[in-house]
Amino acid sequence: MWDDIGSDLTIVFTGGDGCFEMLQSEPMLESRVYAWQEIDPMPLEEVLTVIPAFHPVWADADADPDLISMCDHEAAHGNFRAWAKITHHLTVGMKESGRAGVDEDLLRWAYSKLRHRRVA
């Protein structure tokens, strides 16, 4: 940690489920948190605006709003990190299959590649 008050250094902690509890359990870490910020999932209206601007694969004519809506409902759930992972898998799948655009089969294949945590 950095305690030089004359510096403009900023440290940002990010994490998923359980990070709040972990940071709170360590007094030296918690004492350095100036502000807690939780990021909520994007509503569908925002997804339909943000995702086509995020990557060219979603801006193509083949990636219509119904396909984006289906993917958000079935896999991404308004989570930008999930959208980034799905997009990566899509671009790999498009390259490997020689497809020029997104279709329902390729999309389902891409988000089937998402890792799901197992709850013990």
* Tens of pLDDT, residues 42-98: 999 999 999 999 999 998 755 689 999 999 999 999 999 899 999 999 999 999 999
- Residue (of 48, 55, 62) closest to 101 by Cα position: 62
Name the pTM for this structure: 0.72
Cα separation, 84 vs 88, in Å, equals: 6
* Tens of pLDDT, residues 14-43: 777 788 888 889 888 788 777 888 888 999
